[in-house]
């Protein structure tokens, strides 16, 4: 099992959120399981932003001890499509105190990754606090099963919340929040998180490409030995392109950064992005976007995620048949964010989240 240590809040640029972003992208996972002591609504949204949107199937076990978890977070999780929520309260004898974020594949038993550390599902926990974590990445079935088994133990401590239980917790939360304000006013604790806080660009799509957090495009028939990807003009606002021959930086799952150039073809008003062999190798472990079978039409889709606060993009090349891409396409379709370059034969799908 591979492991990576994360130290957040120090002199470096590491955050738990960035580690989760890298972990969720590298493994092509379509399942998310979360076990945390405390959760806030902005924290759930920050997690969604980090991992490129919550998968269509997710499970959450969240602690109610100390009355810190925001009721709004529980309500938000409960209404997520395909989500299953459990809550845990172990006081007064002990606390429910884990922080585990588990990604896994429903179709490939050997693939799983987990971030385990001190960071709760809050904005501070994912981005700002002094926190540590280890990211464990499995590539054999036995290790993946071990990660799932550890999460399952936390899951079994929880239970589905009842309406009376949630109503009673909301009243307790209000009272505890007033007491925490007194402690905050003394300077002994940070201010109470605001449940209405906006978290960067929340992962929503309002119909305008520039508002999207994620964009994807089927590769189709890539030219230039399988390195030249043609884009419809409609996608250019996503990349904030204004003129031909503009360079953008793309980060692949192995952490490599690649400067690639967009050019415009006047004859058909389409844009092209020339990939380097190294960027394709970093993204999909081969040097061409053409399929290994030798067919003319690629088996890949290019997925781009904006890096918050920068002009860079995370880049993935996923197989069209993969659960990860099917999940993305389903999410785009659900919000009317899926399109096709042409209705004629050979048209390629593209979309946004």
Same domain, 19 and 164: yes
In-domain check, residue 199: no
Residue 292 CB-density burial (10 A; 0-12 exposed, 13-18 middle, 19+ buried): exposed
How much is the pLDDT for 26? 47
How much is the pLDDT for 25? 63
Same domain, 238 and 111: no
Same domain, 278 and 327: yes
Same domain, 251 and 160: no
How much is the pLDDT for 120? 97
Provide the residue-wise pLDDT of the chain in tens; the chain has 353 residues: 999 999 999 887 889 998 888 887 644 688 999 999 999 999 998 998 888 778 878 999 999 999 999 999 999 999 887 899 999 999 999 999 999 999 998 888 998 999 999 999 999 999 999 999 999 999 899 999 999 999 999 999 999 999 999 999 999 999 999 999 999 999 999 999 998 887 875 555 777 888 888 899 999 988 888 899 999 889 989 999 877 888 999 988 777 889 999 998 877 778 899 999 999 998 888 899 988 777 778 999 999 988 766 788 889 898 898 877 887 888 788 888 999 998 888 899 999 98
In-domain check, residue 30: yes
Residue 324 CB-density burial (10 A; 0-12 exposed, 13-18 middle, 19+ buried): buried
Same domain, 165 and 225: no
Same domain, 51 and 167: yes
Same domain, 157 and 281: no
Same domain, 162 and 233: no
Same domain, 228 and 108: no
For residue 340, what is the domain's CATH number?
2.40.330.10
In-domain check, residue 196: no
How much is the pLDDT for 161? 95
Quote the longest CA-to-CA distance of the chain: 73
In-domain check, residue 170: yes
The pTM score is 0.65
Based on the structure, what is the number of domains in the chain?
2
In-domain check, residue 25: yes
In-domain check, residue 203: no
CB neighbours of residue 88 within 10 Å: 23
In-domain check, residue 91: yes
| Structural domain boundaries enclosing 272 | 209-352
Return all residues near 152 (Cβ < 8 A) that are at least 6 apart: none
How much is the pLDDT for 22? 80
Same domain, 8 and 151: yes
Tally of helices (H runs) and strands (E runs) in the chain: 8, 16
Backbone angles phi, psi at 191, to 5 degrees: -65, 155
How much is the pLDDT for 28? 63
Same domain, 177 and 30: yes
CA-closest candidate to residue 302, choices 327, 275, 278, 277: 275
In-domain check, residue 200: no
For residue 61, what is the domain's CATH number?
3.30.870.10
How much is the pLDDT for 201? 57
Which tokens belong to 114?
A: 């987990």
In order, the DSSP letters of 44-69 are: HHHHHHHTTS--SEEEEEEE-GGG-S
Of the chain, the end-to-end C-alpha distance in Å amounts to 32
Same domain, 242 and 345: yes
How much is the pLDDT for 27? 46
């Amino acid at each position: 099992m591979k492991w990576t240590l994360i130290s957040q809040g120090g002199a470096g640029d590491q955050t738990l959120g960035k580690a989760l972003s890298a972990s969720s992208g590298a493994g092509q996972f379509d399942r998310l399981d979360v076990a945390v002591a405390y959760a806030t609504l902005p924290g759930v949204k920050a997690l969604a932003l980090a991992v490129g949107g919550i998968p269509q199937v997710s499970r959450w076990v969240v602690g109610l001890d100390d009355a810190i978890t925001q009721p709004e977070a529980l309500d938000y999780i409960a209404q997520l499509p395909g989500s299953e929520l459990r809550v845990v309260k172990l006081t007064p004898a002990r606390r429910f105190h884990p922080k585990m974020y588990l990604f896994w594949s429903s179709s490939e038993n050997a693939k799983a990754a987990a971030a385990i550390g001190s960071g709760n599902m809050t904005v501070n926990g994912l981005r700002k606090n002094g926190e540590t974590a280890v990211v464990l990445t499995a590539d054999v079935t036995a290790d993946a099963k071990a990660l799932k088994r550890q999460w399952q133990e936390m899951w079994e401590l929880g239970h589905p919340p009842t309406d009376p239980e949630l109503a009673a917790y909301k009243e307790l939360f209000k009272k505890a929040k007033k007491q925490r304000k007194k402690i905050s006013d003394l300077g002994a604790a940070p201010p109470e998180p605001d449940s209405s806080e906006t978290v960067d660009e929340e992962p929503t799509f309002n119909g305008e490409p520039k508002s999207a957090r994620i964009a994807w495009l089927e590769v189709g028939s890539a030219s230039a030995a399988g390195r030249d990807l043609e884009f419809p003009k409609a996608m250019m606002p996503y990349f904030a392109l204004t003129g031909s021959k503009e360079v953008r930086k793309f980060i692949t799952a192995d952490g490599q950064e690649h400067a690639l150039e967009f050019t415009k073809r006047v004859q058909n008003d389409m844009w092209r992005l020339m990939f380097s062999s190294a960027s394709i190798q970093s993204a999909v472990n081969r040097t061409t976007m053409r399929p290994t079978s030798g067919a003319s039409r690629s088996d890949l889709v290019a997925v781009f995620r904006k890096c918050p606060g920068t002009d860079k993009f995370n880049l993935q090349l996923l197989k069209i048949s993969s659960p990860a891409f099917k999940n993305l396409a389903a999410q785009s379709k659900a919000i009317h964010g899926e399109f096709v370059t042409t209705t004629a034969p050979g048209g390629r799908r593209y979309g946004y989240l």
